[in-house]
A and B are shown apart, each in its own frame.
Chain A
Amino acid sequence: MTAHEPPRSLETVDLTKSFGGVRAVDGATVTFRHGRINALIGPNGSGKTTFFNCVTGMIRPDAGTVTYRGQQITGRPPHRIARAGIGRSFQLCRVFPRMTVLENMLVAVRPAGLRDLVGGAGSPAETDKARRLLVRVGIDHLENVEAANLSYGQQKLLELAGVLMGDPDTIMLDEPAGGVNPALIGRIGTLIRELNDEGKTFLVVEHNMDMVMSLSHHVVVFDRGRPIAEGTPSAVRADPRVLEAYLGI
């Protein structure tokens, strides 16, 4: 079985983070494999978002390590981790409200040292790329609109496009379907699948079980800050520990 497992992409060992007395992430040891759509599910407050924040450097873990493609990235600043190839979205969609859609995209352009000080926000090639991504998520006609004026769904699409702008290999999405209508959930799902076909690895926190079951190759179940079960969607759905965590049986 292990013979045809894809290579490891993101790994954590004993990752731990407490807030005061609350152990939000409690010794989480998980491996996510390259090229898969991995889902991370678990009840509210089980530490999924905190896990994301520890991995992406937004929060420094109290203990444990994060390894990405064989390299230790624990405690590195977020922009370094982003540049290493991990893109992420936020649970409550975050865009730059008072910048235009196109400017939002250009924020993610790779810094070029002192050349950042002169010249435009993005080279013609980068601006082109931004526009192509906007076409891809379907909001290119809004490129000159301030992001605050977009609907919530459009902001979610913009956030996803912005993440793609940095050419990440691994994309971490925190509840991409949260607060979004069914039509758009379908579209986001299609986008994820297409991007995965192009070789992107996904790590998706999601409560929408239909989406999780139909989309993911591998599911990890979190409870009280650590994984309690993992496997294929159907195996996880049948796992009694999962039912217990979710339903308190």
Chain B
Amino acid sequence: MPNASDTERTLVAAATAPAGRRVPARAVRMLAFTVCAALILSWPGLAPNPYILSAGVMVASYACTATAWNFMGGFTGYVSLGHAAFFGLGAYGTGVLIRDLDWPPFAAWLAAGVIVVLITVPVGIAALRVRGASFVIVSIAFVLILLLVAQTWQDLTGGSDGLVVPRPFPDLSRPEHHRAFFYLFVALLAVMLLAWWAIDRSRFGTGLKAVREDEDKAQALGVPTRNYKLVAYLISAFFTGLSGGMYALWFGDLDPIFQFSVLLGAYMVLMALLGGVRHLYGPLLGALIVGGALEYFELEFGGTQLHLVAAAVLLGVVVLVTPDGIIPAVRDLVRRFGPQDSSIREMTAAELLAHNRASGRGGPPPDEAPDEAAAPGTGEER
């Protein structure tokens, strides 16, 4: 039975374990990353027919939108159900710039992304004045307004007759077109993941996560929360807009009902929540599952509403069973049954409690006894 100071030392040693001991974990992660990346990139070669191939493009576009959503939803905890607004704006911006101004397709695409950002500045300033449920409502209102505008402003959008976006690569056959766009979406996704990773470890990202955990507290510590939230919202809108523009170039036919759809926004939320909003690859994983399922229903049962029911059931399951998403849930499982990691960072609350109990210095968890305090002598003994 170790005495208290022994345990104390083990804890300290574990916390400052040399980086060398993490190498196997990093190697495993690198391997997993390489395998997954290789699988994704070889999809166009594996797909047996153009339908399946185009389903893959659709899933890749879902992965982009869900990851784009997560720049706001994941970092700040502000759940927007209206992100389809940015998707639609990006899509129509791209289409209109090509059709009316004859811009080169990808210049139009990038410009549309910038336009989305410019439109989002006032919207963000207004929407981010409220929190929680009010923000959700405001975000939905925004997409509904845009839907009405797009349907009414026939001259610009073609209304429900649709807007035909000229194909950027007219010489490509249908499968080649799908293949090209699959890679374009994956490249866009890669850029987003890189940006997410960079923000995640930055001061900006730390501030955003603090907003998600406790916005008032973050403000009290000097985080300029309003500016941070707005910048996150703009980044999120920009990438969502680019996803929409890419979709316009790929699909070539826009209808307000589909581009400015609350359902599309809801899918983004579902995918991100399912995979895990706190994790880099969470939305991607969620998109693979939800997007894959949606495409399967579409292919198998055609245009029924069955996929809606399935999505609703899935959302219920996610919220009830794995509120943090699949990635953290699987991680916990692996941790429980897999080889023990020496890092104390990897400890769960229960394990830490057990650890403290074993060393006879911890007490009951905070919610049991609020007047429990720091382990007496913690720190002073050393």
Residues of A participating in the B interface, judged by any CB pair closer than 8 Å? 56-58, 77-79, 82-83, 87-88, 90, 94-100, 103, 106-112, 115-122, 135, 137-146, 148-157, 162-163, 165-166, 179-181, 183-184, 187
Query: B277 to nearest A CB, angstroms?
Result: 12
Which residue from chain B places its CB closest to the CB of A106 in the assembled complex? B206
A143-B15 in contact (CB<8A) = yes
Give 19 pairs: A residue, B residue, CB < 8 Å, sorted on A: A77-B219, A79-B219, A79-B223, A83-B222, A108-B222, A109-B203, A109-B206, A111-B203, A111-B224, A116-B202, A138-B374, A138-B380, A141-B8, A145-B345, A150-B366, A151-B362, A151-B372, A151-B373, A180-B371
CB within 8 Å for A166 and B349 given contacts A112-B203, A141-B12, A144-B343: no
Report Cα–Cα, A153/B318, bound state, in Å.
34
B201-A120 in contact (CB<8A) = yes
Which one of B199, B202, B379 contacts A140 once the chains associate, using CB atoms below 8 Å?
A: B379
Which residue from chain A places its CB closest to the CB of B324 in the assembled complex? A98
Report Cα–Cα, A245/B378, bound state, in Å.
39
Which residue from chain B places its CB closest to the CB of A115 in the assembled complex? B203
A153-B219 in contact (CB<8A) = no
Q: List CB contacts (< 8 Å) of B191-234 with chain A.
A: 198-199, 201-207, 209-210, 213-214, 216-226, 231
Which one of B218, B221, B224, B366 contacts A151 once the chains associate, using CB atoms below 8 Å?
A: B366
Which residue from chain A places its CB closest to the CB of B213 in the assembled complex? A96
Report Cα–Cα, A138/B206, bound state, in Å.
23
Q: Which of A106, A135, A151, A163 has the most CB of B within 10 A?
A: A151
Interface: B314 (CB within 8 A)? no
What B residues does A99 contact at CB under 8 A? 206, 209-210, 213
Which residue from chain A places its CB closest to the CB of B224 in the assembled complex? A79
A117-B380 in contact (CB<8A) = no
B224-A96 in contact (CB<8A) = no
CB within 8 Å for A110 and B222 given contacts A139-B378, A140-B379: yes
What B residues does A166 contact at CB under 8 A? 221-222
A180-B373 in contact (CB<8A) = yes
Report Cα–Cα, A131/B375, bound state, in Å.
19
B202-A119 in contact (CB<8A) = yes
A145-B222 in contact (CB<8A) = no
Interface: B20 (CB within 8 A)? no
What A residues does B199 contact at CB under 8 A? 117
CB within 8 Å for A144 and B15 given contacts A106-B203, A120-B203, A139-B374: yes
Report Cα–Cα, A99/B221, bound state, in Å.
15
Report Cα–Cα, A143/B14, bound state, in Å.
11
Query: A90 to nearest B CB, angstroms?
Result: 7
Interface: B347 (CB within 8 A)? yes
Query: B185 to nearest A CB, angstroms?
Result: 25
What are the 9 A-B residue pairs with the smallest beta carbon separation, nearest first?
A: A138-B379, A153-B373, A184-B373, A82-B222, A181-B373, A78-B219, A96-B213, A153-B374, A144-B345
What B residues does A165 contact at CB under 8 A? 221
Which residue from chain A places its CB closest to the CB of B350 in the assembled complex? A149
Q: List CB contacts (< 8 Å) of B125-184 with chain A.
A: none
Query: A67 to nearest B CB, angstroms?
Result: 19
CB within 8 Å for A58 and B352 given contacts A98-B213, A117-B199: no
Report Cα–Cα, A146/B201, bound state, in Å.
16
A90-B213 in contact (CB<8A) = no
CB within 8 Å for A77 and B226 given contacts A152-B370, A183-B376: yes
Q: Which of B202, B203, B218 has the most CB of A within 10 A?
A: B203
A82-B219 in contact (CB<8A) = yes
What B residues does A143 contact at CB under 8 A? 15
What B residues does A119 contact at CB under 8 A? 202-203
A94-B15 in contact (CB<8A) = no
B222-A96 in contact (CB<8A) = no
Report Cα–Cα, A117/B232, bound state, in Å.
10
What A residues does B15 contact at CB under 8 A? 141-144
Which one of A121, A149, A162 contacts B206 once the chains associate, using CB atoms below 8 Å?
A: A121
